[in-house]
Chains A and B, each alone.
Chain A
């Protein structure tokens, strides 16, 4: 990220205060989202999301594994993000590790819920094959190809799109397995079950610059932020996760205000995203 001169910073702050940002958007207007699914053929599901110059890819790989002793009736989901050095010069070598770790943790909070698995946005109980013995492990990987701000929202959208594109192979369990033995499983190559993503939430990040907050900040605007709150909201308007970044303190009333703004914005975002995902899947089927 190149530095900005004082005049440019003043211009950006003035724009946000006057509700006309550098590219003419209003404070609560996001950039148009472009979704392509099925970009990685070897994965069970994948998607590429572009928001302006931000470009991220998410892929889902499903493997058979053993459920944990604490939750024998649930599958497992692992989320990991990698910032590619092509995204920004500062990501070269190990520079992107801190940001990758931060994004991974934020995504896990938003999508996977608490340690006991309660309140998860992703339905993990549908991933079990044989209770206590075999379940599906989903490995969700995110890759940041190009970074122009608002990575968390883009990754959230990409994961939602990748999950919509995911096909879990049908498993036939051999009958008559007793007690401790591992049952025989036959993983079908042809039949796939589409993953249900109606409950997967989307993430909306509100970046506070000066006295106002904006949706979908570019990296220039993010350099001016005092703090940012990322809220994941599902279709019912319920909050699935909340993360705050940035050193400045926020008054609790502002946080409540941000949450209500995020709910309104997320409704529109979910509708746009769903229609884009449907169009992408339809386009992919045609080609």
Chain B
């Protein structure tokens, strides 16, 4: 068991240990045979045409693992998939990132990868929604779309010669505001069909970025470009930051109930990340429901007792799904 940052008393340690053991026993048995550490030799039939993939290397005629992980075999390909690797972008991944630089005709975005990603101006919908060539004026107005330190949501377009490119051509991508950004280890967020979740009964938006950045915020209606035009013009006249008085800002704050829901969801994600469980919408919803049903104060969700309860609930949930 890895060193948890929580201070657990004796009974809590025992309960947590038991829950984790139950989860381990529920995990599929096949994988346990195939896990390797560095320099373990991989059992293969030395037939012709065997492809040695990532994480392997040939040493003294033997196929040896170079990373710690699980051996996967696909037809003639043998590779080692590591369990806790750095985020590895694939085409079509939905990611959440932070703009760190505004460069000529592109934005540089930090996405928890070894390099920064690039979002070209041409891969981004213009505010007026018309499909046209980007002019020099568009280039000068890039800052009005995204500035430094903005949090944005985009999709991975592919690897080009100068790095990783993103695209944000749909209305659901773009700048994110009125919420908080959480960072979890990227291997806890698995690729699924849906990464945008609108939790209706809480009124919040949840975006699970494959790179480990998770956005929890107020729900924003995805509107058509043409309609946004009129509203954004009105907003622009008011949105001059220096002229907003403190009272107006107060009226603009997120409503109390929504804020509580946002914080509860964020703490649920933090608790799951501490325990190292995979983060999916179902698990998050269950954790939030658990916390509201036992009426735990929001900040105590990060404490030892709640984490042990989450582990126990997860063990129960997985044994239920296994039985089905």
Query: Which residues B150-183 have CB closer than 8 A to chain A?
Result: 150-151, 175-181
Whether B260 is near chain A, meaning CB under 8 Å from some CB there, is yes
Looking at B43-51, B126-134, B246-254, the stretch in contact with chain A turns out to be: B246-254
Minimal Cβ-Cβ distance residue in A for B256: A18
Cα–Cα distance between A32 and B270 once the two chains are bound (Å): 15
| Chain A hits for B147, CB < 8 A | 5-6
Contact B250–A11 (Cβ < 8 Å): no
Bitwise, A1-30 to B at CB < 8 A (1) or not (0) is 011111110110111011011111110010
Whether B281 is near chain A, meaning CB under 8 Å from some CB there, is no
| Given A6-B177, A34-B5, A50-B5, CB of A24 within 8 Å of CB of B267 | yes
Whether B148 is near chain A, meaning CB under 8 Å from some CB there, is yes
Whether B108 is near chain A, meaning CB under 8 Å from some CB there, is no
Q: How many residues from A make CB contacts under 8 Å with B?
A: 27
Contact A24–B149 (Cβ < 8 Å): no
Q: Majority SS of interface residues in chain A?
A: loop
| Chain B hits for A7, CB < 8 A | 150-151, 175-179, 217
| Chain B hits for A25, CB < 8 A | 298-299
Bitwise, B179-221 to A at CB < 8 A (1) or not (0) is 1110000000000000000000000000000000000010000
Contact B149–A17 (Cβ < 8 Å): no
| Chain A hits for B252, CB < 8 A | 10, 14
* Tier of interface size on chain B: 35 or more
Contact A24–B301 (Cβ < 8 Å): yes
Cα–Cα distance between A11 and B259 once the two chains are bound (Å): 9
Whether B67 is near chain A, meaning CB under 8 Å from some CB there, is no
Of B110, B178, B179, B263, which is within 8 A of A23 by CB?
A: B263
Contact B264–A24 (Cβ < 8 Å): yes
Whether B302 is near chain A, meaning CB under 8 Å from some CB there, is yes
| Chain A hits for B150, CB < 8 A | 5-7
Cα–Cα distance between A15 and B110 once the two chains are bound (Å): 26
Contact B98–A2 (Cβ < 8 Å): yes
Cα–Cα distance between A10 and B180 once the two chains are bound (Å): 10
Of B5, B241, B297, which is within 8 A of A24 by CB?
A: B297
Cα–Cα distance between A14 and B246 once the two chains are bound (Å): 11
Of A2, A5, A15, A34, which is within 8 A of B259 by CB?
A: A15
| Chain B hits for A20, CB < 8 A | 256, 259-260, 263, 298
Contact B254–A14 (Cβ < 8 Å): yes
Quote the shortest CB–CB distance from B155 to chain A (angstroms).
20
Cα–Cα distance between A210 and B249 once the two chains are bound (Å): 11
Contact A17–B250 (Cβ < 8 Å): yes
Contact B151–A5 (Cβ < 8 Å): yes
Quote the shortest CB–CB distance from A258 to chain B (angstroms).
20
Contact B149–A32 (Cβ < 8 Å): no
Whether B303 is near chain A, meaning CB under 8 Å from some CB there, is yes
Of A3, A18, A24, which is within 8 A of B298 by CB?
A: A24
Minimal Cβ-Cβ distance residue in B for A279: B7
Query: Which residues A210-256 have CB closer than 8 A to chain B?
Result: 210-211
Of A5, A13, A15, A24, which is within 8 A of B177 by CB?
A: A5
Whether B266 is near chain A, meaning CB under 8 Å from some CB there, is yes
Cα–Cα distance between A21 and B302 once the two chains are bound (Å): 13
Cα–Cα distance between A2 and B249 once the two chains are bound (Å): 24
Of A8, A11, A29, which is within 8 A of B299 by CB?
A: A29
Contact B254–A11 (Cβ < 8 Å): yes
Cα–Cα distance between A18 and B261 once the two chains are bound (Å): 13
| Chain B hits for A18, CB < 8 A | 253-254, 256, 259
Bitwise, B107-127 to A at CB < 8 A (1) or not (0) is 000100000000000000000
| Chain A hits for B5, CB < 8 A | 34, 50
Quote the shortest CB–CB distance from A31 to chain B (angstroms).
8
| Chain A hits for B110, CB < 8 A | 2
Quote the shortest CB–CB distance from A2 to chain B (angstroms).
7
Query: Which residues A170-188 have CB closer than 8 A to chain B?
Result: none
Bitwise, B237-277 to A at CB < 8 A (1) or not (0) is 00001000010011011101001100110110010000000
Bitwise, B92-118 to A at CB < 8 A (1) or not (0) is 000000100000000000100000000
Cα–Cα distance between A32 and B266 once the two chains are bound (Å): 18
| Chain B hits for A17, CB < 8 A | 250, 253
| Chain B hits for A10, CB < 8 A | 177-178, 249, 252-253
| Given A6-B177, A7-B176, A10-B178, CB of A24 within 8 Å of CB of B263 | yes
Of B176, B259, B303, which is within 8 A of A32 by CB?
A: B303
Of A13, A23, A29, which is within 8 A of B266 by CB?
A: A23
Minimal Cβ-Cβ distance residue in A for B98: A2
| Chain A hits for B178, CB < 8 A | 7, 10-11
| CB-based closest 10 A-B pairs | A7-B177, A24-B298, A14-B253, A3-B149, A25-B299, A24-B299, A24-B263, A5-B150, A5-B151, A5-B149
- Chain A contacts to B: CB under 8 angstroms: 2-8, 10-11, 13-15, 17-18, 20-26, 29, 32, 34, 50, 210-211
Chain A to chain B contacts (Cβ below 8 Å), 27 pairs: A3-B149, A5-B98, A5-B151, A5-B175, A6-B147, A7-B151, A7-B176, A8-B179, A10-B178, A10-B252, A11-B180, A11-B217, A11-B254, A14-B252, A15-B263, A18-B253, A18-B259, A20-B256, A20-B298, A23-B270, A24-B263, A24-B267, A24-B297, A25-B299, A29-B299, A32-B7, A32-B303
A10-B178, A24-B301, A210-B246 given; name 14 further pairs at CB < 8 Å. A2-B110, A4-B149, A7-B177, A14-B259, A15-B263, A17-B253, A20-B259, A20-B260, A21-B263, A22-B263, A23-B266, A23-B267, A23-B298, A24-B302
